[in-house]
Amino acid sequence: MTALRGIYLDHGATSFPKAPGVADAVRRFLVEEAGNPGRGGHRLTVAASRAIEQARQLVADLLGADPERTLLGPGATFWINTVLSSWLAPGDRVVVSALEHNAVMRPLRRLEARLGLEVAVAEGAPATGVPAAEEVARLAAVSPTRLVVLCHASNVSGAVLPVAEIAAAVAPVPVLVDGAQTAGSLPIDFSGLAAAAFACSGHKGLLGPAGVGVLLLADGFEVEPLVCGGTGSRSESEEMPEWLPDRLEAGTPNSPGIVGLGAACAWLAEQLVAAIHDCEAGLVRRAADGLAGIPGVRLHGWDPAAARVGILSFTVAGLDAGELGDRLDRERGIMVRAGLHCAPAAHRRLGTFPDGTVRVGIGPFNTDDDVDSLVDAVGEAARARGRNLKSGVSRGNQAT
Ligand SMILES: Cc1ncc(COP(=O)(O)O)c(C=O)c1O
């Protein structure tokens, strides 16, 4: 995606542009159907309810889930908070990877302080922090482990964790998967994942609008609502309904966002997520090869043989990550994320705390040219830094 808007390489933060059809679907909903779903029986309410349920079906189909157990809410963060608050009790032990995002670590740390939880960390492989199933199983075998929480892919390095293998190895301990960086970027079949719950954002790989997130719940796992309120159903009662999705979806939903997400999932299903993944994996490898050839560049958590999504973190010796990010945007119109990426534990594990990294996030609309422009711009910045250093040294030499 070049054009006037520049080169967008920050898909780890959010997708841009959105999938074809998303903006039209949102607009059509707002103009033609925007009643309050489930509240009353007039035609706009019915149209809105139908639109939401169609979107739910599209999301569920894309992720291999049961639509009745596909919950739609404000974001991955909301659903992770909901599950952790519901499933953890005083004295419980929780096992996490060393690569978790603050969407997991902040609610966990708060619950740790409130409930006296024990949080055990699987350190993972030396270079990547990706844990093997045996390591997590060993930690989860310690009583009283109540839950394992794992990101499906690191938002710092892009490394994919073997969550299905881990879920099988730690059974019967349930696994909550944070799929914020994989949904829409990696083919996902929730029914075959063996995880108890899977939370993801609608605005990253799923290419929908911000403000919508998804929770998939496996059969036999129930969650208490974090937020209670009106649902349009059982209006005679002051208790939350017992059934899903109403039990976990209190308050008026973000209907335009949900409809947009449905349109995005329809587009992804048509394109095939596997094909998008292959394309993004090829581009990220091209970026890694190009960047690794620049003197002073270091890739972090990169293992060429490992499974990954389209995310890559790097630093350039002697260059501040934030300054390099600003420079790429200002001088070349290249948008990346620079600094710390809301995952201090992952940065510590990868040795990039507190300075952070420049993070490249490839999306389905990026091209070889986008990646080559990035490599060229980083090469130029690294060479300029080298020249400045040399001239500084020679000026220093003359002065002595
Ligand atoms: C790994 C991971 N988990 C969770 C989140 C939170 O997602 P959201 O902000 O959409 O709730 C993010 C967002 O960057 C993420 O990268």
pLDDT at 392: 66
**In the chain, alpha helices (H):** 22-28, 43-63, 76-87, 102-115, 133-140, 163-170, 255-271, 273-292, 321-332, 344-350, 368-399
Q: What angle do CA 308, 311, 317 make, to 5 degrees?
A: 120
Instruction: Check if the beta carbon of residue 225 is closer than 8 Å to that of residue 248.
Output: yes
Per-residue pLDDT tens digits of the chain, which is 400 residues long: 444 479 999 999 999 999 999 999 999 999 999 999 988 899 999 999 999 999 999 999 999 999 999 999 999 999 999 999 999 999 999 999 999 999 999 999 999 999 999 999 999 999 999 999 999 999 999 999 999 999 999 999 999 999 999 999 999 999 999 999 999 999 999 999 999 999 999 999 999 999 999 999 999 999 999 999 999 999 999 999 999 999 999 999 999 999 999 999 999 999 999 999 999 999 999 999 999 999 999 999 999 999 999 999 999 999 999 999 999 999 999 999 998 999 999 999 999 999 999 999 999 999 999 999 999 999 999 999 878 777 765 554 433 2
Ligand 1 binding pocket includes 101 (Cβ within 6 Å) = yes
Instruction: Check if the beta carbon of residue 17 is closer than 8 Å to that of residue 203.
Output: no
In 268-363, where do the E strands start and end? 297-300, 311-316, 334-335, 337-339, 357-361
Catalytic positions, written as ranges: 342
pLDDT at 394: 53
In angstroms, the CA 221 to CA 223 distance is: 7
Ligand 1 binding pocket includes 181 (Cβ within 6 Å) = yes
Instruction: Check if the beta carbon of residue 187 is closer than 8 Å to that of residue 277.
Output: yes
Ligand 1 binding pocket includes 99 (Cβ within 6 Å) = no
pLDDT at 2: 45
Give me the half-sphere count of Cα atoms (radius 13 Å) on the Cβ side of residue 87. 25
pLDDT at 386: 79
* Whole-prediction pTM: 0.95
CA 284 from chain center: how many Å?
17
The alpha carbon of 76 and the centre of ligand 1 are apart by a number of angstroms equal to 6
Listed residue (205, 221, 225, 224) closest to 213, CA to CA: 205
pLDDT at 393: 54
The CA-based dihedral angle spanning residues 71, 22, 326, 363, taken in that order and rounded to the nearest 10 degrees: 80
Name the residue with tokens 């157990």: 69
DSSP state of 58: H
**Coil, helix or strand at residue 177:** strand
The alpha carbon of 103 and the centre of ligand 1 are apart by a number of angstroms equal to 6
> Looking at this protein, which amino acid is placed at residue 306?
A
Q: Which residues contact 295 (CB under 8 A, 6 or more apart)?
A: 382, 386
pLDDT at 50: 97
Residue 60's alpha-carbon distances to 33, 67, 70, 190, in angstroms, are 22, 5, 6, 9
> Looking at this protein, which amino acid is placed at residue 114?
R
The alpha carbon of 344 and the centre of ligand 1 are apart by a number of angstroms equal to 13
Q: How far apart are the first and last CA of the chain?
A: 51
Ligand 1 binding pocket includes 180 (Cβ within 6 Å) = yes
The tokens for 338 are 């620079």
**Coil, helix or strand at residue 70:** strand
The tokens for 34 are 């925007």
pLDDT at 192: 92
Q: Which residues contact 223 (CB under 8 A, 6 or more apart)?
A: 82, 83, 86, 87, 197, 215, 217, 248
